[in-house]
Homo-oligomer: A and B are copies of this chain.
Amino acid sequence: MTEEVCGLRTPYLLFIGDCTEPGYAKTAFGLRDWAGDKCVGEYALPGATVSTGLPRMDPAEAAARGAKSMVIGIANSGGRIAPQWLPALEMALAAGLDLVSGMHAKLGDLPGLREAAEISPGRLIDVRQPPAELPVATGRKRSGKRLLTVGTDCALGKKYTALSIAKSFAARGVASDFRATGQTGILIAGAGIALDSVVADFAAGAAEVLSPDNFDDHWDVIEGQGSLYHPAYSGVAMALLHGSQPDVFVVCHDPLRTHVLGHSEFPLPDIEQVVELTIQLGRRTNPAIRCVGVSLNTSALRLDEANDLLAREAVRLRMPVADPIRRGDLFDSLVENCLAP
């Protein structure tokens, strides 16, 4: 179903343009790290100094090796597509590859690209574009199990945590799907819905479509968006919570963040506040909702500081507290808590 929702054809060729700043190639690195089995190689222009380490090849060669899409792996500030990339993008279309972008600018709005797509077998795909005919949510209880990552704020590890849990589920032989709600997640999963781009009346409906009925022991691991305490994105978080009807949720938090990113007059809520409010509101569509743990992004702390903090918070909050990157043993107990009956 979600293949239809987004319709990405894999495997990918990763386009890194003439990039010289690794920070801008986050999308390409994310795909290499989380969807390496879906990547046949990278295509760089002369002048590029950044590399994913994947084999270099041009679109025709990638197509010959089975690639179905070329993904723009660069997200520079402003989300623009550089004019000097256009010949390379047209070459991909001519080679029969779909051209896939998670940027704000629509591919079809670029001069010449729409025309190039019309005369070539490849399609233009903007993954931020939600499907056209989303339904209004019904609230009907669906079969299967669902996990949602929520947060004390935006941009502190909700996607990373969901991907880590889905990977851990897979390693344990638990049937599961990572359900992407943002552009990078969609590229990694090869499917999903950019929830922030859905018209407000259909946002909960989109979340319902994203995690349809499934086998009773199947888990959808749903990437969270926004935060119930965010002055701009609380509506998205609310719609995603009600539409996802999660059985369990994990709270993601950055221990060094004190205020909402970009909104310095809004203090971050406590983890406990987020746990309580998520249960209070989530009960509306799943009375059995429970919190199974906290995912802390401790990347800015020394290992001994991180260990101290993880231990202290686990005692204080009386639940598993882990960093998906560090101390796999703690993360294991968080994952086991999801699966506890």
Chain A positions within 8 Å of B, measured between CB atoms, are 136-140, 195-201, 203-205, 228-229, 231-240, 242-243, 260, 263, 265-266, 277, 280-281, 284-285
Number of copies: 2
Which residues of B lie under 8 Å from residue A237 when comparing CB positions? 238
In contact, A239 and B235 (Cβ under 8 angstroms): yes
Q: A242: which of B195, B196, B203, B231 is its contact (CB, 8 Å)?
A: B231
Q: A284: which of B204, B234, B243 is its contact (CB, 8 Å)?
A: B234
Q: Which 9 A-B residue pairings sit nearest by Cβ, starting from the closest? A: A139-B231, A235-B239, A137-B232, A196-B201, A238-B238, A235-B235, A200-B203, A235-B238, A200-B236
Which residues of B lie under 8 Å from residue A199 when comparing CB positions? 196-200
Which residues of B lie under 8 Å from residue A236 when comparing CB positions? 200-201, 235, 239
Give chain B nearest CB distance to A53 CB in angstroms. Answer: 34
State A240–B138 Cα separation when bound (angstroms): 21
State A71–B239 Cα separation when bound (angstroms): 33
Q: Which residue of B lies closest to A207 (CB)?
A: B235
Known: A139-B265, A263-B138, A266-B139. A234 touches B229 (CB 8 A): no
Q: A232: which of B139, B229, B231, B234 is its contact (CB, 8 Å)?
A: B139
Which residues of B lie under 8 Å from residue A136 when comparing CB positions? 232
In contact, B229 and A204 (Cβ under 8 angstroms): no
Which residues of B lie under 8 Å from residue A198 when comparing CB positions? 199-200
Most buried by B among A200, A233, A263, A281: A200
Q: Which residue of B lies closest to A140 (CB)?
A: B265
